[in-house]
Structures are given as C-alpha cells and as structure tokens.
C-alpha cells in the first residue's frame, strides 16, 4: 500500500521536491527533473538518465559526481515527456554533448528519441544507449527487445564513470553499450504494488506463490510457482543467469535488488546462498551490491543481476561515485555550482511575425477552442473505448492535451507569435501535458506540422497539405506503427492521402478528407491491434474501433478550416 501522499496526481512532483530539499548540496530541481548542484568541468559529456517515478533510487537518486549529470522524472510508472527530457538535458549540458540512457520501454523510447532529435536540432550532439537486461522479457536473438531493470545501475555507473574520466561522447557510448551487452537480470515477485491513491494493487500474486520473470511495473512474468526456500531460490536465479554466461567470462559485478517491499535482511539471507553458488561456478565477484537499486513502489520481490567484466569495465565499475542513492570509494571534492542552469522551458519569446501569419495564428485559437470543447464532450466515450483493451486514459489524455495546447496557443498569440511558432508551442504543450503514447505522438505531430509553416505568411492550401504530411511522416518514423496496426495512423494516412489528392479549395478538400478519416476510423473495428497497449489483449478489441483513430477523425472534422 502507498500511504503517504497528498494529491495522488502530484505524487511525483512532491517526491522530487522533498528529495531535492533533502539533498540540496548534491541536486537541484529544474524543469522536468533534477541536475547536479555542483560544478562539472566545461566540455564534459552530460549523462542524462530517467524514467517514471516509483523506482527509487532509480533514477533521480543517481545524480552526482561519478554518475549522472541529470535525471528526468516522469509520473509514477510513466515515461517523462519529450519536453521534460529536452529541458533536463539542456540544463545539464556542458559543451561535451549529451548521453541519454534509460530502461527499454516503448513510451520512454518514444519520448527520449524525440528529445534527442530536438537536442541535435539545437546543435547539441546527443547519443543514446537503451538498457535491456531482463532475460525473461525476450530471447537472446531479440536482446534489444528486453526490458531494462536493475541493469540500469550498471549502464549508468559505467557511462557516468567514463564521462567523469573525460571520455568523449562516442567513447561513453562504446563502454555503455559494452556494459549493457554484458548485463543479465532475472526477477521474481511475491506480491503486487499499489499506485498512490489506488485502493487495489496493480496485480496480485496468490499467497505462497511467486511470479517468475515479473517486470518492474508488474508486467506479467513467464510463469508462477510455489515460493521456494531462499537457498533454492538462489539456485534458480543463479542457474538461469549462468545459461547466458559469455564465453570465457570469469569476473562479474553481482547485484541483488530488492523491489521495494522485501527487507534487507531477506536479501542478506539470499546473498548467503547466491555468493557460494557463484563461487562454485568459478565466478569472481567484484564489488557486489545488495539492496534496493531499482524498486517498484511497495512490490515484494527480488532480482539477481550478473554484469560480466573486462579490465576497462571493471575499472569504471570501481571508480568513485557520490550520489544520494549510490556511493563508492573515497569522497569526491565538489564545489557548489555558481552559474545558473539554462532553462529550456523558460524561453517564452517568439520570433517576429507578419500580420498575415499572426492572423492565421488567431484562427488557430478559434479552432483550438472548438476542439477543446468537442473533446471534453467525448472524453468519457474515448475513455470507455480505450478501456476495452487498453488502459482507459485516452479521453483524459486528449482533453489534457487540447486544454494545454489551447492555453499555449492563446499565450503565443497574445505575445505576437506567427502561425508556425504558435502551432509549435501548442504541440509542445500537448506533448508535455497529455500523457500516454498518443499524447507524445500528437505533440510531435503538431510540432512537425509547424515546421512546414512559416511566421512570414498565411499558410496556403499547399502549405497546409505539406504540414499534414510532415505530421504523418513524424508519427510513422517515431511511433514505428504501420497501416493496419490499428492505431490513429489508420485514420491519418487516408486523411492525408485524400487531402493531397483533392485539388479543390482547402476547406472543401479538408471536409471530404475528414469524412474519409471517419469511415476508416470506424473500419478499424475489424482490425487486430499489433502495437501499443492494446496488443496484449488484442482479441478483446475486435469489433470495437481504435480509440486513437476515432479521436483523430473527430479532431479533423472539428478542425475543418
Ligand atoms: P496509451 O496507449 O499510452 O495509454 P492513449 O490511450 O492516449 O495512450 O492512446 C492510445 C492510442 O494511441 C491508440 O488507440 C492508438 O491509436 C495510438 N497509438 C499507440 N501506439 C501507437 C504508435 N506506435 N503509433 C501510432 N499510434 C499509436
Ligand atoms: Mg490508453
């Protein structure tokens, strides 16, 4: 049970504020998360990590000398937004480029990838290594599909030590990739965890049983069995991990991780069996860690991780680190940072715009006002549609996004923004506030559309068509879904094609294309979801249209110019 909170929707923000207050000598809050409060040398690679909250000490607990320069802090168990990642990286950056790293989950990949693209556009070299250590979540052949769990600590520690030692961005990427490839984890869970404000746990495990291969958000495991005595549990974990032991590997860092509700004493009991087993198998253990490393709120359970070392990785594993959640070696001398961090979110000025473009931006406000009202009317309907096979948040996501976009649009227009800048601000706000996969994609799509418009002139019919195409291309490239996967693309693709093929004036062509999008959205009822949250319960969704496709068609009908 999660018991101590105020407004559950503010849990992550309240947690972050308390953490930064406590560790004010080490970390400082910025838009989207926290960065080091201490000086770092000019030209150092900035290591920026992150993910959802509820996993402490991952991720914000690992900001400090020897590890991360910044951590992006999402809501409980949900990916931070693109805007949050971009803001934290911008604040942490010191001229040596940005190294992004996080556990492998679709929402995080989407948002960190989009942020990486924006950082590169800003002129900041940025590279990413995604952590994928959970051996039960995909086979060795599909290693890149594995989830990231306690291996996060390994990869962040290695990257942090390398950056601190003066490696350049490519050098940090190289050792971090090598560390990820050499890291293998396996978890069991005895009981579920409860989100702040919820009365029921996210999942349950029957008494006396354990989930084998459970994920850190309660994702189903590969099986369930009776709880074993500690020594037999140790054998099960060790044997399974040794099946993936690389050729000739002898030295390994070993992690026993508690998922949040399992006591340190229990972990010591487990270690008392794990260590002799590894010894017998000829594994030389280097600086093992036993404790809470990546938790899952109050979930009870443990995981074991083996990180196979080579001499360079071993040196980096043993290098000093001084963070609130992970310490190693002698204390590192630090001085308090004097410069103020760049706040990417604080810049609210807009480039000069022509009167024609400003007038078009004003029309966007009118469209945005209609849209927000219509989406509120349909909020419940979209929520119910998403609850059939998804998680029921789509109605809320669309109204949150549309409300935030309208606020940002209004503010931009009042500040004299042209249509391109106003739409970009709306996209940013939508992506930052909507939540969910569709929120990140809507935000990115609106920003891409803005890129095809200008602040100098009112958009022509051709420019609007190009903007819609740019949005579609962005969704295809970042969402990685295809036509027929049962997503909003099944409405947006026919919409875009119809708009491009219809050479009547924009208003007539748009209305006709919106009708086509509506038909295609309804026709998704016959499809089986092949991507996104609805995929695991795919068969339930048959006979019902895709919520994202239906809402997109409604937006297009409402937005007709
Ligand atoms: P979440 O799935 O994260 O809860 P929402 O419920 O707001 O997000 O949105 C669900 C909708 O998002 C789906 O109905 C689908 O249309 C769309 N969607 C999900 N994944 C993708 C993707 N990879 N590409 C395009 N659209 C997607
Ligand atoms: Mg949803």
pLDDT digits (tens, 9 = 90+) for 444-469: 999 999 999 999 999 999 999 999 99
CA 206/CA 550 separation, integer angstroms: 39
CA 150/CA 189 separation, integer angstroms: 14
How remote is the CA of residue 370 from the centroid of ligand 2, in Å?
23
pLDDT recorded at residue 216: 86
CATH architecture of the domain formed by 355-558: Alpha Horseshoe (1.25)
pLDDT recorded at residue 429: 96
For the record, the structure tokens of 137 come out as: 């979540």
Over pLDDT 90: what percentage of the chain?
88
Ligand (nearest to CA of 390): 2
Whether 378 is catalytic: no
CA 442/CA 301 separation, integer angstroms: 37
* Highest mean pLDDT (candidates 15-19, 75-79, 199-203, 337-341): 15-19
Helix (H, G, I), strand (E, B) or coil at 57: coil
CA 507/CA 494 separation, integer angstroms: 17
- Reported as a single tens digit per residue, the pLDDT across 378-410 is 999 999 999 998 888 999 999 999 999 999 999
CATH superfamily assigned to domain 8-328: Dihydroxyacetone kinase; domain 1 (3.40.50.10440)
Contact 388, 544 (CB under 8 A): yes
CA 139/CA 146 separation, integer angstroms: 8
- Please compute, for residue 238, the number of CA atoms within 13 A of its CA located in the half-sphere on the CB side: 22
Work out the average pLDDT over 473-489. 95
Residues 6+ apart with CB under 8 A from 200: 194
Helix (H, G, I), strand (E, B) or coil at 480: coil
pLDDT recorded at residue 511: 98
pLDDT recorded at residue 531: 85
Is residue 251 predicted with pLDDT exceeding 80? yes
From 23, 55, 86, 217, the catalytic residue: 217
For the record, the structure tokens of 477 come out as: 């490239």
pLDDT recorded at residue 537: 75
How remote is the CA of residue 544 from the centroid of ligand 2, in Å?
15
- How far does the chain reach from its first CA to its final CA, in angstroms? 50
Q: What is the band of 207 on the pLDDT scale with cuts at 50, 70, 90?
A: very high
Q: CATH 3.40.50.10440 in the chain: give the residue spans.
A: 8-328
- Reported as a single tens digit per residue, the pLDDT across 328-344 is 998 777 888 887 888 87
Work out the average pLDDT over 123-129. 98
Is residue 533 predicted with pLDDT exceeding 80? no
Dihedral sign for Cα 242, 245, 247, 252, please. negative
- Reported as a single tens digit per residue, the pLDDT across 501-531 is 999 999 999 999 999 999 999 999 999 998 8
pLDDT recorded at residue 457: 94
Ligand (nearest to CA of 434): 1
Q: CATH 1.25.40.340 in the chain: give the residue spans.
A: 355-558
Is residue 347 predicted with pLDDT exceeding 90? no
Over pLDDT 70: what percentage of the chain?
100
Ligand 1 atom index nearest CA of 533? 2
Is residue 180 predicted with pLDDT exceeding 90? yes
pLDDT recorded at residue 337: 86
Is residue 155 predicted with pLDDT exceeding 80? yes
Mean pLDDT of the chain: 95
Residues with CB under 5 A from ligand 2 (ion): 386, 390-391, 393-394
Dihedral sign for Cα 271, 277, 280, 284, please. negative
pLDDT recorded at residue 330: 81
The string of DSSP letters for 94-145 reads -SS-EEEEEE--HHHHHHHHHHHHHHHHTT--EEEEEE--BTTSS-GGGGGG
Helix (H, G, I), strand (E, B) or coil at 11: helix
pLDDT recorded at residue 18: 98
For the record, the structure tokens of 530 come out as: 């092949």
Classify residue 456 by its DSSP letter. S
How remote is the CA of residue 537 from the centroid of ligand 1, in Å?
14
């Amino acid at each position: 049970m999660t018991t101590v909170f105020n407004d559950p929707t503010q849990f992550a923000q309240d947690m972050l504020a308390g953490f930064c207050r406590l560790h004010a000598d080490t970390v400082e809050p910025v838009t989207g998360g926290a960065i080091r409060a201490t000086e770092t040398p000019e030209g150092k690679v900035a290591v920026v990590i992150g993910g959802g909250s509820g996993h402490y000490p991952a991720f914000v607990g690992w900001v400090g000398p020897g590890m991360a320069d910044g951590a992006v802090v999402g809501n409980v168990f949900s990916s931070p937004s693109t805007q949050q990642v971009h803001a934290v990286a911008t604040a942490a950056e010191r001229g040596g480029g940005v190294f992004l790293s996080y556990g492998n989950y679709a929402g995080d990949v989407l948002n960190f990838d989009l942020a990486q693209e924006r950082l590169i556009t800003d002129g900041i070299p940025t590279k990413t290594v995604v952590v994928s250590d959970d051996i039960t979540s995909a086979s060795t052949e599909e290693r890149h599909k594995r989830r990231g769990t306690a291996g996060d600590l390994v990869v962040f520690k290695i990257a942090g030590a390398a950056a601190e030692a003066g490696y350049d961005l490519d050098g940090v990427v190289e050792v971090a990739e090598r560390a990820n490839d050499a890291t293998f984890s396996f978890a069991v869970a005895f009981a579920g965890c409860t989100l702040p404000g919820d009365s029921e746990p996210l999942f349950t495990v029957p008494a006396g049983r354990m989930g084998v291969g459970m994920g850190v958000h309660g994702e189903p495991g590969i099986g369930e069995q009776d709880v074993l005595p500690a020594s037999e549990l140790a054998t099960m974990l060790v044997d399974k991990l040794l099946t993936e032991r690389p050729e000739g590997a002898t030295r390994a860092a070993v992690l026993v991780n508690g998922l949040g509700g399992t006591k340190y004493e229990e972990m010591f009991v487990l270690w008392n069996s794990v260590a002799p087993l590894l010894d017998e198998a000829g594994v030389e253990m280097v600086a093992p860690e036993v404790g809470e490393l990546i938790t899952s709120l109050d979930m009870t359970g443990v995981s074991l991780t083996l990180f196979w070392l080579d001499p360079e990785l071993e040196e980096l594993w043993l290098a000093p680190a001084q963070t609130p959640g992970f310490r190693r070696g002698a204390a590192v001398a630090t001085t308090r940072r004097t410069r103020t961090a760049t706040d990417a979110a604080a810049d609210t000025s807009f480039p000069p715009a022509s009167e024609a473009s400003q007038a078009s931006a004003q029309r966007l406000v009118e469209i945005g006002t209609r849209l927000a009202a219509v989406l509120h009317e349909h909020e419940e309907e979209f929520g119910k549609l998403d609850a059939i096979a998804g998680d029921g948040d789509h109605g809320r996501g669309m109204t949150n996004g549309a409300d935030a976009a309208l606020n940002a649009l209004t503010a931009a227009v009042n500040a004299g923004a042209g249509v391109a800048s106003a739409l970009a601000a709306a996209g940013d706000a939508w992506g930052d506030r909507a939540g969910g996969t569709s929120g990140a994609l809507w935000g990115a799509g609106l920003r891409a559309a803005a890129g095809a418009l200008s602040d100098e002139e009112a958009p022509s019919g051709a420019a609007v068509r190009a903007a819609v195409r740019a949005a579609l291309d962005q969704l295809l490239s970042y969402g990685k879904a295809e036509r027929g996967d049962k997503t909003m693309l099944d409405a947006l693709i026919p919409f875009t094609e119809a708009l491009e093929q219809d050479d009547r004036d924009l208003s007539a062509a748009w209305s006709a294309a919106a009708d086509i999008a509506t038909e295609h959205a309804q026709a998704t009822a016959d499809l089986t979801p092949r991507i996104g949250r609805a995929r695991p319960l795919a068969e339930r969704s048959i006979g019902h249209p895709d919520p994202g496709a239906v809402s997109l068609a409604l937006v297009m009908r409402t937005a007709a110019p």
